[in-house]
Structure 1
Amino acid sequence: MAAPPAGRFARLPHLAGRSFIPLGLFARLPLAMLTVGTLTLVTSASGSYAAGGLAAGAVGIGAALGAPAFGALADRHGQRPVLLVAAVLNALAVLGLLGAAWLAAEGALPAAQVVAAFLAGATCPQVGPLARVRWIALTSRNNGKDNGRDLDTALSYEGTADELTFVLGPALVGILASLVAPWLPLALAVVMTLTLVPAFAVHPTQKAVPLKRGGGARAARIPAAVALPVLAMVAMGTFFGSTQTALSSFSASFATSELAGLLYAVMGLSSAAAALSVAYWPRSFKPVARWVVSAALMAGLALLLLVPDSLGGMVAVLLVLGLPVGPVMVSVFTIGGMVGPAERLGTVMTALASGIVAGTALGAFLAGQLAQTQGYTAAFVVPVVAAACLLVLGVATAALLRSHRPQEARD
């Protein structure tokens, strides 16, 4: 058997196979397209921004509720059957959303859009969280000294993949909707879901994930410590949603609110690059310490959002602000893997992802209210508070791990 490559990221295809990384990257793209695609489609079909926003919110609520349910089913029955069923159900739900939008354009069944949007969100295949579960399983199979480094590298890559897809997805929706038709992005998402998600589901890496159906109540229990990473992801989502909404108000005061997506992408790109760099951080810099230090930097830099009075100044702030964001996300997912039992990691990882979705909706609502009544400067207070909450939760997690030191072998 050939020796594993020396390069940190070169080791990942050796662990999972060359097809796994591109497959896992593009199979999560439909989820990244769904919210913005729904907003664009329903707004275009109904002529109402309120209707579009309501449908997009229904997607978020559905995803926040459905993701942990699918994660728990994957823990009990295995990833392959759950992902295959989710792919079919999601494709049907998105097709139903396309049909409901067409009917709404004809003046019928406006409520059907919201129901279809909720079902589309609730049935989203959770490729990103379940890919992390596979990496945790793959890197824990051997007891070599490189296991922890390999896991850091894999989760760094996963953080970058999430950032890239959530920048690329909305951009792809905007291009296709403006150049061809508003329905095309969601139609493409259906095709990708029916092809890429099943390929991810049956990939050999799914066999590495432990499956324990009858472990009893003790084995099935999720530690209370998992609540802290989940709350941290709610705070992270609040940061994302409020920043994006506040940027819409900010950019509208200078040019047009559509520039907010481009501004937000600046932060996403620097965050993705920083997430990738975590693989090269010293192993002595433990995940919980990375969380606390990066969150402290994030909270301090978030204050800079209150300063710019020009688009150029905001671009500079967002470029710098993104640098601690990626490492915080990587560290929180790592902590979630540490404190969650191996047979329930699907539930834990999807709960973390749901926290981001729920927090994004909360942040968008809070910042939207402040932007409407007091202007964009007040709206930027929300991401500052969210970043401060991330710091507090990181400190609380550090204290908890210091007292209980759960599952040290995975650190």
Structure 2
Amino acid sequence: MNGFRAVFSVAGPWLPVLSFLARLPAALCPIGTLMMLTELEGIARAGVVAGMLWLGQAVGGPPIGRLADRCGHRPVILVAAPANAVAAVALVGSVLGGLPVAASALLAGLVGLTMPQVGPLSRTRWIALTASRPEGKELTARALSLDTTIDEISFMAGPALAATVVVVCHPSAALLLAALLSAVCGVLFGLHPTTPGPVRSGPGTAAGVRLASPALIVLCAMALAQGLIWGGANAGVSALSEHLGDAGMAGFVWGAMAVTSALAGLVATARPGKRDLTVRLRLAIVAQTLLVLPLLAVSGFAGTTLVIAGIGAAVAPHLIAVFGLAERVAPAVRMGEAMTLLGSGLIVGQGVAALAAGPLAQAYGFRAAFGVSCAAGLAACAVALVLVRGRRFTPVSAGSGRPAPSATQVSPPAPEPAPAADRRA
């Protein structure tokens, strides 16, 4: 438990609780929109409106991260969270009021655009809180591991919670719950005393520091590949459940990944490991790709659940390494934007995979959708094995965006001692 105590000692136990509750809307809104529209207006409209929400999330993430870096997290979150709640309520009103699908799609896009990006900004906050500690490097690794685990738990709890409130209450209940969580917990997350202010580095600010680098582009590619793996597997599980005549089982099968991923994240928080993050990333994505391949042979719920659970054991280690390397290579003054870029990569990957895997599953069966995940995993392995190398991921100096000097370059060589005559003088 020492690893968890070390993390909680930085900000107290309430920050992880608030960040979990405040990021639930990101998991509730897409599935809640899909369920509400499917029941009230049909699957065709549901796909269009939910797709617009995903697109809004992907597009809106980096600008929100950039504003948080330049203006501080608090004002950005305190504007985005209530705006997101209002947009979600307006989306419900448009559907219940019978407005055209174009109006609902526009409001769904607004819901996505105003999503407060609690997950990426929470990671940025932990980095800021732990960087100045004596045990900063190890503590940052533990904090990012814990935060990734919270992401996985919200990923598991969101769809289950949405399904429960829709069945018990009303088709719109999941979206209204998301609005309530944004308005209350999102605001409290923004008001928490640990909220970072504007990041400055000497005379420069975030506006003058370059973000793009080969290393960050590689990490965005890895995040995109992870989203593709998720999206293809999710579509395949849904197609398999429909093929077996029990579509409702898809959520339970898919939840197995979140359970094992969360457990792996907890282990990583307690024992971060000694290997460099680049090595851990390569090992995690190779393991995940090997664990995805058996999906091409499954035919029932039991086998699919077992394979999906196995994949989850490699998901958290991969994401922990991706976000940990981003903390290493992104300039501190633009860390929020870097984290939201990676989050957008995950979302775009899921959306692209869903667009490709859905028609493939309909035309050729559920194994074709699983093939998308396998192809994405193989591509990710190639990128990781060739491009994820230690020399490419040299830590940057604070605020400059340039590599930090190595241990042998920290200080210039000592000057030659003066001749004896000069010393006497």
Short-chain TM bin: over 0.9
* Conservation of the 8 A alpha-carbon contact between 2:328 and 2:394: no
Match of 1:117 in 2: 108
The equivalent of 2:166 in structure 1 is 177
Aligned residue in 1 for 2:281: 291
Q: 1:288·1:397 contact (CA, 8 Å) conserved in 2?
A: no
Which amino acid counterpart does residue 320 of structure 2 have in structure 1? V
Residue in 2 aligned with 1:128? 119
Is the aligned partner of 1:137 residue 2:128?
yes
Q: Is 1:379 aligned with 2:360?
A: no
Q: What is the correspondence of 1:41-60 to structure 2 with a 5 Å cutoff?
A: 41-46=36-41, 48-60=42-54
Matched position secondary structure for 1:329 = helix
Residues 1:208 and 1:276: Cα distance change in structure 2 (over 3 Å)? farther
TM-score of the superposed pair, with normalisation by structure 2: 0.89
Q: Does structure 1 conserve the Cα–Cα contact (< 8 Å) formed by 2:71 and 2:198? A: no
1:96 aligned onto 2:86: no
Seen in structure 2, the aligned counterparts of structure 1 residues 29 and 84 have a Cα distance that, compared at 3 Å, is same
Structure showing greater radius of gyration is: 2
Question: Structure 2 vs 1, CA of residues 304 and 216 (structure 1 numbering), >3 Å: closer, same or farther?
Answer: closer
For 1:20, the aligned partner's letter is L
In structure 1, the residue matched to 2:29 is 34
How far apart, in 2, do the equivalents of 1:83 and 1:403 lie? 33
Which among 200, 205, 212 is matched to residue 194 of structure 2? 205
Q: Distance in 2 between matches of 1:103 and 1:196?
A: 28
**CA separation of 1:404/1:157 partners in 2, compared to 1, >3 Å: closer, same or farther?**
closer
2: CA distance between counterparts of 1:34 and 1:395?
Answer: 36
Structure 2 Cα separation of the partners of residues 56 and 216 of structure 1 = 33
Q: Which letter does structure 2 place at the counterpart of 1:10?
A: R
> Structure 1, residues 169-201: CA drift from partner, whole Å, max 9, x if none?
111110111111011111111111111111111
Aligned partner of 1:3 in structure 2 is: none
Shift of 1:324: 0.9
Q: CA deviation at 1:110?
A: 2.1
The answer to whether the aligner puts 1:361 opposite 2:351 as a matched pair is yes
Any stretches of 5+ residues in structure 1 without a counterpart?
1-5
- String of CA shifts for 1:294-348, please: whole Å, max 9, x gaps: 1111111111111122211112111212111110011101111111000000000
Mapped to 1, the partners of 2:78 and 2:381 lie a distance apart of 38
- Counterpart Cα distance in 1 of 2:54 and 2:227: 11
Contact 1:43–1:49 under 8 Å retained in 2: yes
Find the counterpart in structure 2 of residue 231 from structure 1: 221
In the superposition, relative to structure 1, how do residues 17 and 62 fare at CA in structure 2: closer, same or farther (>3 Å)? same
Query: What is the aligned partner in structure 1 of residue 409 from structure 2?
Result: none
C-alpha spacing 1:204/1:32, structure 2 compared with 1 (3 Å): same
Spell out the pairing of 1:314-333 with structure 2 (5 A cutoff): 314-333=304-323
> How far did 1:281 drift?
4.4
Conserved 8 A contact 2:2-2:270: no
Deviations 1:44-75 (A, max 9, x none): 221x1010011111111000000101000001
Aligned-partner Cα distance in 1 for 2:16–2:155: 17
1:406 to 395, 404, 411: 395
1:378-410 Cα deviation digits (max 9, x unpaired): 1111111112222223224423x4256233879
Give TM-score, length-normalised by structure 1: 0.92
**Whole-Å separation in 1 of the counterparts to 2:10 and 2:405:** 17
The answer on 1:277 being equivalent to 2:277 is: no
| Contact 2:328–2:393 under 8 Å retained in 1 | no
**1:25–1:330 Cα change, 3 Å:** same
On the 8 A contact 2:127/2:140 being kept in 1, the answer is yes
CA contact (8 A) 1:78 1:211 kept: no
Q: What is the Cα-based RMSD across aligned positions, in Å?
A: 2.0
Secondary structure of 1:222 counterpart: coil
Q: Which residue of 2 aligns with 1:313?
A: 303
Tell me how far 1:280 sits from its aligned partner: 4.3
Q: Contact 2:69/2:206 (CA < 8 Å) preserved in 1?
A: no
Match of 1:65 in 2: 59
Which one of 311, 322, 334 corresponds to residue 344 of structure 1?
334
Which residue number corresponds to residue 166 of structure 1? 155
Moved more, 129-138 or 255-264: 255-264
Judge conservation of contact 1:232–1:389 (CA < 8 Å) in 2: no
Alpha-carbon separation, structure 1, partners of 2:192 and 2:394: 34
